[in-house]
Amino acid sequence: MFETVLVANRGEIAVRVVRTLRRLGIRSVAVYSDADAGARHVREADVAVRLGPTPAAESYLAIPRLLAAAAGTGAQAVHPGYGFLAENAAFARAVTTAGLAFVGPPAAAIETMGDKIRAKAAVEAAGVPVVPGVSGPELAASARKMGMPLLLKPAAGGGGKGMRLVTAAGELEEAIAGARREALASFGDDALLAERFVQRPRHIEMQVLADDHGTVLRFAERECSLQRRHQKLVEESPSPLLDPATRARMGEAAAQAARACGYRGAGTVEFIVPGDDPATFYFMEMNTRLQVEHPVTELVSGLDLVEWQLRVAAGQPLAFHQEEVPATGHAVEARICAENPATGFLPSAGTIRLLREPAGEGVRVDSGLAEGTEVSTAYDPMLAKVVAHGPDRPTALRLLRAALARTTVLGVDTNTGFLRRLLAQPDVVAGALDTGLVDREAPALIPAAVPDEVYVAAALLRHAALAPAPDPAGWTDPFAVPSGWRLGGEPAWITGLARVPGHDPVPVAVRPGQARLGDAPPVPARLVARTPDTVRVELAGVVHTFHHVAVPDGHWLGREGDAWHVTEHDPIAGAGPRAAAGADALAAPMPGTVTVVKVGVGERVAAGQSLLVVEAMKMEHVIAAPHDGTVTELTVTPGTTVAMDQPLAVVTPEEPTP
């Protein structure tokens, strides 16, 4: 076994790999960019090496720097995690050429399975069923002949990046252009594959583990059908859909796919299953790495897949046979991401001010977070995974919902509360899943309004902060206390506009013993108790408890997985530099980088026409014209880094014809 292993990744997967290395007594080496200098994976590893500036191309994707870090620390092996270079054949080859062990498959297997076009040909030759599709230089023409709907997929890479569903021929050209940009940015290759879109599909995958001695094992399948925009949100094992016969056939197909490319190590073969024909399945792709959702397999099997990755890479044979692969109970995983459901799931960034992660029997957390962690838009938005294991599916779902309710992240918006509600959605509870369920049900799972007690709690905390500290003698000037006292009249209200991102500002007024929201009548309200990280507020006779942290622009409050950033809203200041332009102005909907500018000043545009593209956390957001008109201002160019609400352009409407 190895003495020292370098982990060529960041975040929660780096922390997770370091955990197994520590258990096995192997010295761990972390790497980091400037943005991650204080990150948790850096602190938990035995050694940490700076790679370079924040952009991935100059740090986590810089192969020479990674090899230099391995050589300088005496590493004998490199674990790539997932993402970045995990499925890069050139990296795997460079590692082995440098005399190190690559904790993954051979470069030739990555090359075969890392290109979806070659992968389909290889597994089809091995007798594995595949989805009809087309590729090549005349992709648009071939796709039109195949017909709609179809799914565009990058030939290199996975994880949902660059995928586009096209339902009408008129959308094809722009969808291909956008998919190529995102594929090139994510994988360095803009080749695409267009496949027939399976209606109401289910996404089911098989974990395989192979050694250099001819053994290929398969594990209980994972269902990954709960996705949003082709990004997995919830995964479980086993699938509530498959019967034993289909499970056996799919497992054998996965093993055939692994043998077809001479696979070694842990990998995943992904299948698409028509919702109306669960006995039929088609090969989609093979991920030649550890999957994000590997914890559900570990909890069901009781095996540490990272440990077996290391053992296989060290040349050891697998110590068990197929019939000895255990499968006990049911496991479900939810991915916590830095995004705000109330703003259309736009990426979020900031500093983690307060963190509470769940624990207990049947609950596992894989996380890269710590208080003080800076969440940047430079990297993937996934922050952590909460996983539950129980004797059956209802128990596992219940444990996971409870664990998410005990999860609090303040300082950055996350999807935690949304996930908790998703896991209680009737179709999810019943196991009636498909890959479009989340997008269909999302509006019903996002609260239309912020609870009244959130606004009141923030207002009472702001009111309490106005009170002066007592002098050394313990005396307080009664006229300095914000009691609202007035000679001969009722106490005055302390008023303000409170704002939570994704919601309209709300007028809030408080005075001793009462609160009022908008034009509603006053109700009894008081601050019951406060600790350094919690606050209890009574509103209309009901006591509400929140996790809490004060920040310079307001307060963060969290409860049962949800979190709210409440700030004071100044209508004039809130309009900022866009005020003069009004509705004609276009602003950045999220912090990120402008990747495409399609228009210039003076150009006439039509309502809905895409003008710019802003990218953050490997996701593109198209900025479209709000109406017909002329571009009269353009403040950005490709490569410009922008803050949320930063002005980008102004489209002045055309004067009506007399």
Element of type H or E holding 157: none
Q: How large is the average pLDDT for residues 22-30? A: 98
588 Cβ contact list (under 8 Å, min separation 6): 614, 642, 643, 644, 645, 646, 648
Dihedrals φ, ψ of 521, to 5°?
A: -70, 155
Burial class (CB in 10 A: 0-12, 13-18, 19+), 639: exposed
DSSP assignment of 560-578 equals: TTEEEEEEE--HHHHHGGG
| Tens digit of each residue's pLDDT (9 = 90 or more) over 138-197 | 899 999 988 899 999 898 876 677 889 999 999 999 999 999 998 888 888 899 989 888
d(CA 641, CA 634): 14
- Nearest C-alpha neighbor of 509 from the set 545, 556, 460: 460
CB 8 within 8 A of CB 67: no
Element of type H or E holding 404: helix 393-405
| Tens digit of each residue's pLDDT (9 = 90 or more) over 479-527 | 555 666 555 567 778 888 999 999 999 999 999 999 999 999 999 999 9
- Nearest C-alpha neighbor of 46 from the set 9, 2, 4, 76: 4
- Nearest C-alpha neighbor of 130 from the set 139, 142, 122: 122
Q: Which pLDDT value is given to residue 214?
A: 93
Position 417 confidence tier, pLDDT thresholds 50, 70, 90: very high
Per-residue b or e along 331-365, where b marks 16 or more CB atoms closer than 10 Å to that residue's CB: bbbbbbbbbbbbbebbbbbbebbbbebbeeebbbb
| Tens digit of each residue's pLDDT (9 = 90 or more) over 43-82 | 999 999 999 999 999 999 999 999 999 999 999 999 999 9
| Six token digits for residue 514 | 């009462």
Give yes or no for residue 578 having a pLDDT over 50: no
Q: Which pLDDT value is given to residue 569?
A: 82
Alpha helices in 496-555 (DSSP H): none
Q: What is the 3-class SS of 451-507, one letter each residue?
A: CHHHHHHHHHHHHHHCCCCCCCCCCCCHHHCCCCCECCECCCCEEEEEECCCCCCEE
Q: Which pLDDT value is given to residue 275?
A: 85
**Residue in this structure with the two tokens 């590729």, named with its chain if needed:** 135
d(CA 227, CA 476): 57
Q: Between helices 305-313 and 11-23, what is the axis angle to 10°?
A: 70
Q: Which of 19-23, 83-87, 578-582, 633-637 has the lowest mean pLDDT?
A: 578-582
d(CA 397, CA 153): 31
| Tens digit of each residue's pLDDT (9 = 90 or more) over 383-416 | 999 999 999 999 999 999 999 999 999 999 999 9
Element of type H or E holding 515: strand 514-517
d(CA 30, CA 6): 6
CB 104 within 8 A of CB 110: yes
| Six token digits for residue 397 | 């779902």
Q: Look at the domain 4-103 and name its fold.
A: Rossmann fold (3.40.50)
The answer to whether the Cα torsion of 585, 589, 593, 595 is positive or negative is negative
Q: How large is the average pLDDT for residues 220-228? A: 97
Q: Which pLDDT value is given to residue 573?
A: 55
Portions of the chain given CATH number 3.40.50.20: 4-103
- Give me the architecture of the 452-465+493-569 domain, per CATH: 2-Layer Sandwich (3.30)
d(CA 477, CA 467): 10
CB 359 within 8 A of CB 366: no
Length of the chain: 658
Portions of the chain given CATH number 2.40.50.100: 577-653
Q: How large is the average pLDDT for residues 225-239? A: 95
d(CA 494, CA 456): 12
Q: What is the 3-class SS of 311-324, one letter each residue?
A: HHHCCCCCCCCHHH
Cross-strand partners of 586: 649
Portions of the chain given CATH number 3.30.470.20: 201-445
Give yes or no for residue 618 having a pLDDT over 70: no
If one counts every other C-beta atom within 10 angstroms of the C-beta of residue 194, the result is 26
d(CA 176, CA 194): 9
Q: Which pLDDT value is given to residue 131?
A: 86
Q: DSSP assignment, residue 582? A: G
Portions of the chain given CATH number 3.30.700.30: 452-465+493-569
Q: Which pLDDT value is given to residue 581?
A: 45
| Tens digit of each residue's pLDDT (9 = 90 or more) over 251-296 | 999 999 999 999 999 999 999 999 889 999 999 999 999 999 999 9
Position 579 confidence tier, pLDDT thresholds 50, 70, 90: very low
d(CA 352, CA 44): 18
Q: What is the CATH number of domain 577-653?
A: 2.40.50.100
The percent of residues in the chain predicted with pLDDT above 90, rounded, is: 76
CATH superfamily placement of domain 201-445: ATP-grasp fold, B domain (3.30.470.20)
CB 444 within 8 A of CB 582: no
Check whether the bond before 626 is cis (ω within 30° of 0). no
Q: Which pLDDT value is given to residue 477?
A: 59
Dihedrals φ, ψ of 183, to 5°?
A: -65, -40
d(CA 189, CA 4): 33
